[in-house]
Amino acid sequence: MKIMVAMSGGVDSSYVAKTLKEAGHEVIGCYMVLHDKAGYHEKNIQNVRSVGEFLGIKTEILDLRDEFKKEVYDPFVEIYKSGKTPNPCAMCNREIKLGKMLEFALNLGCDKLATGHYVRVEDGLLKVSLDESKDQSYFLANIKPESLKYMLFLLGDRLKSDIKAEISKFSEISNIAKQKESSEICFVDKSYIDILNQHINTKIPGNVVDKDGKIIGKHDGYMHYTIGKRRGFTVDGAHDPHFVTSINPEKNEITVGLKYDLKSTKFSTENLNDFINLGSEFEASVKIRYRSPKVGAKAKVLKNENGDKFLEVNLKDSVYGIASGQLAVFYDEQNRVIASGFIN
């Protein structure tokens, strides 16, 4: 087969390219330039080209900066302005990595697109990886279901330590295995606030209120806060820690409360992305953020006035800090992704 490998310059995608080449496939490596973050791309591109030379494969540099700005960067800014907490990686995987890059691969005559994600596929559904500490099914749960048939995920049954050990055997590319892993948003340097400050004044002080609307303190500007944050604002006469429980951008106001005020058993989602026929209601386990444990849930599938499907979700146990804008991902009993939607 002719297979494109999405290469980041890191150890995982390098291992994927090596494995596919050794299996006899025609492999093309492809690095995406998504933004203009200073000093970000040079080392990565050098690594991709080094691996390409070592394996004897062609490598491509795909400039998707305009598409990334439209589909990920600009929405990232707007979602924060609306008082929500965006999930740019989920947006990018759908529209860019497994969207525009997949289109590029198919236009070059490739049969498949392979990535270095830690995830499995079972019966046409994304499934949690063997190494759950590295599982990336959550970030992939927003992809278009029809794109899955073109995807290859080779690392779902592997351990990260094994991948590093394999690449370390080869002196030509062993430096890649020694690189520090990045868990940050790729286009953010130190803080998301640095990004927002390029487009809007985030430092507009406002009121901190309690759940009854009483003014009890001051804050530095609502975009500095996300649900569950406990620092960076004042609460008059407080003896216990207070946490952000809601954000009102129109009033430049944040509501705070004690930790138990963050507990909830209900939420709704928009932009439903279903991988199976869910019917009118279903039961599943749900994650409300990447590192949160799964919680049992019952969900109703409804339609808004535009005919778009959304979910009303009731949790079997209360959870802390459900944040609008984050992705809710639903899993079946076999740890397979059956649906996702953005919390609102």
**Structural domains for the chain:** 2-177 (3.40.50.620), 202-257 (2.30.30.280), 262-343 (2.40.30.10)
Query: How confident is the model at residue 165, as a pLDDT?
Result: 87
- CB within 8 A of 23, min separation 6: which ones? none
- The most distant pair of C-alpha atoms in the chain lies apart, rounded to whole Å, by 69
pLDDT single digits (tens) 54-98: 999 999 999 999 999 999 999 999 999 999 999 999 999 999 999
Report the C-alpha gap between 311 and 267 in whole angstroms: 8
Instruction: Give the mean pLDDT of the chain.
Output: 94
What average pLDDT score do residues 132-148 get? 96
Is 10 annotated in a binding site? The answer is yes
What is the percent of the chain with per-residue pLDDT over 90, rounded to a whole number? 85
Is 11 annotated in a binding site? The answer is yes
What average pLDDT score do residues 181-209 get? 88
Is 7 annotated in a binding site? The answer is yes
Query: How confident is the model at residue 178, as a pLDDT?
Result: 73
Q: What is the pTM of this model?
A: 0.93
Q: Catalytic residues, which ones? A: 92, 186
Buried b (16+ CB within 10 A) or exposed e, 75-105: bbbebbeebbbbbbbbbbbbbbbbbbbbebb
Query: How confident is the model at residue 168, as a pLDDT?
Result: 84
Q: At residue 183, does pLDDT exceed 80?
A: no
Is 13 annotated in a binding site? The answer is yes
